[in-house]
Structure formats: C-alpha cells, structure tokens
C-alpha cells in the first residue's frame, strides 16, 4: 500500500472500459485528487474568518505548537449554539480549560473539568441561553432531486441512515418530514472531524461550553440527537493522536492526563491564520469529485465500488496565499 | 455528552411508543450494551488461539507494555495471505520491524522500513508465495435472504457499497456476481480496526510482510482491492494514538519516529493471553443487538435513525476467565 493515496492518471483505455452509468466525459481527471487539482478558481469559495474557531492547545512535550482550526456550521443550522460559542470565545471562557475525554473510535471532548461539581464549576456568562431540542434540525434548505440541476451530477447519497445532500459545503441529512407530520427537514451529519455540543440527558441540549470532535467511524446515530456546530478543518491530528482515557467512556482519570487549552479565538482575531477555501458543492468540480470517489479509477484500484458513503466524500478544503 | 455510551433501560412506555417495524418483543433489553450483557453463554463462541496474532510493540515512554491482539480472518477468506503471515511469525520475521506510517483518519502501517531498498531489505523466507488477485473475494458463503432464518432477525445491511451480511462473526460484503459472469461472491469489508495486506500496484498483491490497520472512517473503497486478513480485537489504541507521520501519505520522515515491534507471536505461543469470545452472529442476541444499534432507545436518544452502517455494528468480543 505504498502509494495508496497518490493520484495517478489511469490510461485512456482502462478509463473507457470502466465507465459507470453516471460517467463523466473522458476529459474529466481520473482521480479525486486530480479533479481537485484541476478545479478552476471560480469553483472555490472563501471561508469567512468569522466562521472559524482557532483553538490553541498548550505546546506538546517537545514545545511544538498545537493549533486546531474549526469551521462553524452556517445558518440556518445550530445557530443558537453557535451564538453561544462566539459569546464564550468573546468572554475568553474556554481559555485554560482542558481536553478531558478521548474515547477510541468515537470522540475527543473538551470543556470545564469541574463542570459536574457545582462548588467548583466555572460560572457561565449570563448571556448563555438554553436551546430547544427542536433546533437539532432545520426546515429543509436542500431540494429533492438526486441530481444537482446546476451541474448535472449526482447530488444525493442514500445510506441506511438517511438521504444526504451536499449544500453550501456541508453534507446534510434530509427526510420527508412526513413521519412527524411536518415538512422536510435537513441536518448536518456526523462524520470524522465533526464538532458537536456535549450534553446530558434530554431535555438538556448543552450550551456549547463543552464540545467534542469525532475521531472514528461516523457516529451517525447521533444525527438529530445532538447539535452539530462545526468541523475540524486543520489540526485534527492534535486531538486524534492524544492518549485514550482509561476511565468509563474514555474520560481521563486524573487531571495530570488532561491536555490544556491555551486559548480559543475567532478567526478574525488571529493575525497569522491562513485564508481557507472550500470546493463549492454546487460546482461541476465537486460533482466530478463525488463521482470519482464513488468510482475509483486510480491505478491502485482493480474493482470500483460504484458507490460511496457521504462521510467518505470529505469536502475539499485548502489554504491560499494572500 | 457525559453519559453518551452508558446503557440505561428505557421505560416501557417510551419503548412501546418507539417500536420500529422490525421491533423486538418488549422483553428484549432496550440498549445494545444491555443486549450484550444479557446474552446467554450459549450465544458466545470461543476464538481459537491459533487465529490470534499477538503483536507486542516496545514499551511506551513510561515503560508501559503495548500489546495489540489481532484476530485472523477465517477460511475461506484471504487464506493464502494468512498462511504467509503464520509462516512469517514462525520465522520470527516481524520481530524488530517497525510502524512506519500513521495517516490520520486512514491507516497505521507496519513492516520492514527498508522494504523499498533492495540493498537493505530484509529477505523474505523462501516459503512466502505470491497470491492471485482473484483471492480478494471468495465464492459466496452467505445466503441471500435479508432476514436470518435461524433467528428471524434482519441479517443484511444495504449501503452505497454493497450488501453486507454477518457470517461466523464477520461482516461480509456480497454481490450477485452477475456483472462478472460469475456466481455470487463474498468478501470481508474494511471497518475501523480491520487489518489488511499492504501492496504496491496491481498485479502485486502483497505477501503479508507489510500490514496495516484502519484508524478512521471505513475505507470501503479498498474492499475487493486489497486483502483483508484480520481485525484488531484489543489494543487498537496503541496504534491509533501514535503521532501522525508528516511525510506523504503519513509515512514518518525519520527512523527516530518509528515505533518498534518487539515481537509478533501466534496466540498459541503466548502464555499470558486471556481467552476471547465473540457473540455468534447467528444468535438471537446478535439479531437483537443489530436491531438495537439501528434503533437506539437509550435514554440519551431522542430520535432513532432506523438504520445503521455495517461498520457501526462491531461484533461484540469479550475476554473470559479461564
């Protein structure tokens, strides 16, 4: 598996013989990486620095910095929690808190280690408000068709959990709403790197003071049960490679095991942050990328699956020189 | 998310109101963990020690041991590679090699760091044989029905990649074989913790001298393209929490970054190994477990997905006192 993820163009012959039903024209690059590399500037969208959280952990044992960059989910999703999070950053509330839980193949979680002890818990700013459970979903923003009318490409992936469509750079679950006597709903789904709001049992929905990031197989059972507020777009390895906690559910047993949070800032507050762009999910390039992820023709592959999981189509994100 | 993975019985009222179409009778425990805890001894199967690989990494920085236990895939799957691996263990060939690659959300890989340098590569024992690519799959061992006739429960999960059925403790992909003018085929699928055989480009299939374990979202695109030979059943955290390599594809740039392999042995050679059992995938308990994974009624959940990914139904494995 030496070159497993390298992008190497298939020969025209092998490409022609393997064309799937929803095949791109032959001039489309043969691999996902090649599609991304060939995407024109017009297919990329700038991510607002106001949508970015920059979490600096304390330096590692060798003194190297550990910066985790999180993109917050856009409106209309989870905005009351996102507002709470921006408020908490504004109050510098997260600074000095810690990663308290690392459960293998599940989540890394951070917040106030004393949150469960009323005598020691860090008080929340008074502006932080409770959020109704109904806000785990939103009235539908995606349209129904399985094909994106703007690009002609497949636009939906149906899996055992739901239909997923890509919208404004995010994978969204979608239902008909019929089972609830309501209209169709959308919700951001849990994939590797997704950031959500820790909570206790219903009707508690969490405030955003305690957050987690997914570091394993997509825990899609959490969709519509917990608030997705963002995704890690840089530095996930500083979370995913932390030692696993040995207490129940991966909580650390002693404070000595915690990784401390130096500070959390909004992107607009951080001078040395690069600009980030995502590949527009309404662009022809994204349609080709999704197709190539589902029908691998890289030289390494012998038999293409002909399908792909929504969480195996990570939306391409890049940094750009200013 | 304090108690996210705790098993807490739903009230009878909430259980009754949430019964899905394929609902278990009310006496079935309400959560996956409770189903496992209630499974009778007759539903568990011993894993042969001859099917276990025990890989001891060198101790960690604090001197703590790091043992990874791998269950080899049973016949008829990948047996030529499995034979090679047993031969390599018999020759003590893996002892002293290293983890050379850790790519976030993908794989940890180990083998001979000098494999690509013919002047320095460790020679392979002469019994190690090449394996044909056709052996990535096997003539079907699963039957077609979506419901397990032995238990009356759902037995198949259809997702964008394939139909998956559980057989002898393993999730197997299945197709009709029609597209290849052959009969139906099965193959073990790639989930978190799956162990496979590193290889270069086709028609190279790898020997088993270089292995990898999945540490991220199931890379199902590799199914039928690479040999699955096992799964990590204990100690995955010693692989998944290793620092990520900063070279291309997560390879380490310098030998100083390697984690060394002290030794690899078969289970039959290791005196202090516990006995392992898996929950029979033909048992009523497994059927109930799968259903509960797909229809979460734990107190934490508000809305059940009504479906589940095959890789989100890890086959329960436990240690037993001798």
Question: How are strands ordered across the β-sheet holding A317-320?
Answer: A44-46, A275-279, A317-320
Residue with tokens 């990520």, as numbered in its chain: B244
Shortest CB distance from B1 goes to which of A157, A198, A224? A198
Q: State both tokens at B313.
A: 């139904």
Contact B225 A303 (CB under 8 A): yes
Task: Give the residue among A126, A157, A169 at the shortest CA–CA distance from A285.
Answer: A169
Distance CA B73, CA A63 (A): 42
Which residues in chain A have their CB less than 8 angstroms from residue B192's CB? Answer: 105, 216-217
pLDDT at A5 > cutoff 80: no
Q: Does A5 sit within 8 Å of B308, measured CB to CB? A: no
- Residue linked to tokens 């997705």: A228
Contact A294 B160 (CB under 8 A): yes
Do the Cβ atoms of B1 and A159 come within 8 Å? no
Question: Do the Cβ atoms of B192 and A216 come within 8 Å?
Answer: yes
Contact A295, A20 (CB under 8 A): yes
The CA distance from A5 to the nearest CA of chain B, in Å, is 7
**Is the distance from CB of B140 to CB of B156 less than 8 angstroms?**
no
Lookup: tokens for B75: 């016949």
Phi, psi dihedrals of residue B113, rounded to the nearest 5°: -60, -25
Instruction: Determine how many CB atoms are found less than 10 A away from the CB of residue B43.
Output: 20
Tokens coding B101: 């690659």
* Closest CB to A305 among B223, B294, B300: B223
Q: How far apart are CA A228 and CA B203, in angstroms?
A: 43
Among A276, A289, A200, A271, smallest CA distance to A232 is for A276
pLDDT digits (tens, 9 = 90+) for A268-319: 999 999 999 999 999 999 999 999 999 999 999 999 999 999 999 999 999 9
Of B217, B240, B304, the CB nearest to A312: B217
The predicted pLDDT at position B154 comes to: 84
- Whether the bond into B234 is cis, omega within 30 of 0: no
CA distances from A47 to A67, A215, A268 (A): 18, 23, 11
Cross-chain Cβ contact B161/A106 below 8 Å: no
What is the tens place of the pLDDT at every residue in A236-251? 999 999 999 999 999 9
Structure tokens at B196: 């496979």
Q: B133 to chain A, minimum CA–CA distance in Å?
A: 9
Asked if B296 contacts B286 with a C-beta cutoff of 8 angstroms, the reply is no
For residue range B12-27, list pLDDT tens digits in order: 333 333 334 455 565 7
Chosen for mutation from B4, B8, B304 (greatest number of chain A CBs closer than 10 Å) is: B4
Compute CA B18 distance to the chain's CA centroid, rounded to the nearest angstrom. 32
Q: What is the ipTM of this complex?
A: 0.91
Task: Compute the distance between CA of residue A8 and CA of residue A25 in angstroms, rounded to an integer.
Answer: 18
Query: Which 246-305 residues of chain A touch chain B by CB within 8 A?
Result: 248-249, 293-294, 296, 299-305
- Chains A & B: contacts with CB separation below 8 Å: 194
Cβ distance B302 to A4 less than 8 Å, yes or no, reads no
Q: What is the pLDDT of residue B24?
A: 54
- Distance CA(B289)–CA(B283), nearest Å, equals 10
Looking at residue A178, what is its pLDDT? 81
- How many other C-beta atoms lie within 10 A of the C-beta of residue A142? 18
The answer to whether B308 contacts A206, with C-beta atoms less than 8 Å apart, is no
Task: Measure CB to CB from residue B217 to each of A4, A218, A299 and give the nearest one.
Answer: A218
Considering only CB atoms, A308 lies closest to which of B106, B160, B199, namely B160
pLDDT level of residue A127 (50, 70, 90 thresholds): confident
Residue numbers of A between 10 and 69 with CB closer than 8 Å to B: none
Nearest of B234, B260, B265 to residue B61 by alpha carbon = B260
Q: Confirm or reject contact between B313 and chain A (CB < 8 A).
A: no
Is A218 an interface residue toward B (CB < 8 Å)? Answer: yes
Instruction: Give the separation between CA B44 and CA B291, rounded to whole angstroms.
Output: 18
Binary contact (B311, A217; C-beta < 8 A): yes
Give the other-Cβ count within 10 Å of B121's Cβ.
13
**C-alpha closest to that of A110 among A263, A221, A294, A1:** A263
Contact between chains at A1 and B206 (C-beta distance less than 8 A):
yes
* Residues in chain A within 8 Å Cβ distance of B106: 5
Question: Mean pLDDT for chain B?
Answer: 90
pLDDT of residue A322: 64
Look-up of token digits 């029905």: B145
Tell me the DSSP string of A187-222.
Answer: EE---TTEEEE---STT----SSSEEEE-SS--GGG
pLDDT at A117 over 90: yes
Closest C-alpha among A33, A72, A74, A69 to residue A316: A33
* Residue A115 neighbours by CB under 8 Å, 6+ apart: A121, A122, A209, A210
Under an 8 A CB cutoff, do A243 and B242 touch? no
Cα B139 vs. chain centroid, distance in angstroms?
A: 20
Q: In Å, how far is A236's CA from the nearest CA of chain B?
A: 8
User: Of B116, B160, B296, which is closest to A221 when you measure between CB atoms?
Assistant: B296
Residue A130: the pLDDT is 87
In chain A the first and final C-alpha atoms are separated, in Å, by: 36
Q: Tell whether B226 is within 8 A of chain A (Cβ).
A: yes
Burial code of A40-64, b = ≥16 C-beta within 10 A, e = fewer? eeebbbebeeebbbbbbbeeeeeee
> B303 with A179: CB under 8 angstroms?
no
Which residues in chain B are closer than 8 Å to A303, comparing Cβ atoms? 136, 224-225
Burial of A318 (0-12, 13-18, 19+ CB in 10 A): middle
| A204 to chain B, closest Cα gap in Å | 10
- Residues of chain A in contact with residue B159, where contact means CB-CB under 8 angstroms, are 159-160, 307, 309
pLDDT tens by residue, A9-40: 222 333 333 334 455 565 789 999 999 999 99
Task: List beta partners, residue A278.
Answer: A45, A317
Q: Which residues pair with A228 in a beta bridge?
A: A196
User: Is the pLDDT score of A176 beyond 90?
Assistant: no
Q: How far apart are the first and last CA of chain B?
A: 36
Is the Cβ–Cβ distance between A66 and A214 less than 8 Å? no
* The pLDDT value given to residue A102: 98
Distance CA(B264)–CA(B262), nearest Å, equals: 7
CB atoms within 10 A of CB B13: 8
Alpha helix (H) ranges present in A215-318? 237-240, 284-294
- The model's pLDDT over B86-132, given as tens digits with 9 standing for 90+, comes to 999 999 999 999 999 999 999 999 999 999 999 999 999 988 988 99
Reference A165, options A270, A26, A310, A37; nearest CA is: A310
| Minimum mean pLDDT range among A258-262, B126-130, B187-191 | B126-130
Q: How many CB atoms lie within 10 A of CB B257?
A: 17
CB atoms within 10 A of CB A77: 25
CB contact under 8 Å between B309 and A218, yes or no, is yes
Note whether A210 contacts B: Cβ–Cβ < 8 A. yes
Tell me how far apart the alpha carbons of residues A165 and A281 are, in angstroms, rounded to a whole number.
9
- Name the token pair of B218: 């199931």
Q: What percent of chain A has pLDDT over 90?
A: 81
> How confident is the model over A185-223, as pLDDT tens digits?
999 999 999 999 999 999 999 999 999 999 999 999 999
Cα B113 to chain centroid distance, Å, stands at 25
What residues in A contact B243, CB-CB < 8 Å? 237, 241
From B83's Cα to the closest Cα of chain A, the distance in A is 20
At B121-177, the pLDDT tens digits run 999 998 898 899 889 999 999 987 778 888 888 889 999 999 999 999 999 999 988
Dihedral sign, Cα of residue B93, residue B205, residue B240, residue A235: positive
For strands A185-188 and A44-46, give the pairing.
Answer: unpaired
- Does A9 contact B at CB distance below 8 Å? no
SS3 B72: strand
pLDDT digits (tens, 9 = 90+) for A43-98: 999 999 999 999 999 999 999 999 999 999 999 999 999 999 999 999 999 999 99
């Amino acid at each position: 598996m030496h070159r497993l993820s390298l992008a190497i163009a298939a020969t025209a012959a092998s490409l022609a013989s393997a064309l799937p039903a929803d095949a791109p024209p032959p001039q489309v690059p043969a691999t996902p990486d090649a599609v991304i590399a060939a995407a024109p500037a017009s297919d990329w969208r700038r991510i607002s620095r106001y949508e970015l959280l920059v979490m600096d952990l304390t330096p590692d044992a060798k003194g190297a910095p550990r910066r985790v960059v999180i993109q917050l989910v856009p409106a209309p999703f989870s905005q009351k929690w996102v507002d709470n999070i921006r408020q908490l950053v504004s109050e510098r509330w997260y600074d000095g808190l810690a990663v308290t839980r690392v459960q293998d193949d599940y989540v890394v979680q951070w917040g106030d280690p004393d949150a469960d002890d009323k005598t020691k818990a860090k008080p929340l700013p008074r502006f932080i408000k409770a959020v109704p459970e109904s806000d785990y979903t939103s009235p539908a923003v995606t349209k129904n068709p399985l094909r994106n009318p703007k690009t002609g490409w497949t636009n939906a992936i149906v899996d055992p959990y739901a239909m997923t469509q890509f919208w404004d750079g995010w994978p969204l679950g979608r239902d008909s709403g019929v089972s609830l006597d309501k209209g169709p709903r959308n919700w951001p789904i849990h994939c590797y790197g997704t950031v959500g709001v820790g909570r206790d049992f219903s009707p508690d929905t969490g405030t955003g003071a305690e957050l987690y990031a997914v570091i394993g197989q997509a825990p899609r059972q959490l969709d519509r049960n917990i608030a997705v507020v963002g995704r890690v777009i840089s530095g996930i390895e500083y979370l995913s490679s932390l030692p696993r906690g040995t207490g129940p559910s991966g909580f650390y047993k002693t404070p000595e095991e915690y990784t401390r949070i130096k500070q959390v800032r909004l992107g607009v507050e951080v001078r040395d942050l690069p600009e980030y762009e995502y590949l527009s999910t309404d662009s022809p390039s994204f349609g080709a990328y999704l197709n190539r992820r589902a029908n691998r023709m890289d030289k390494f592959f012998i038999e293409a699956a002909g399908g792909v999981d929504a969480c195996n189509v990570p939306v391409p994100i890049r940094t750009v020189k200013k």
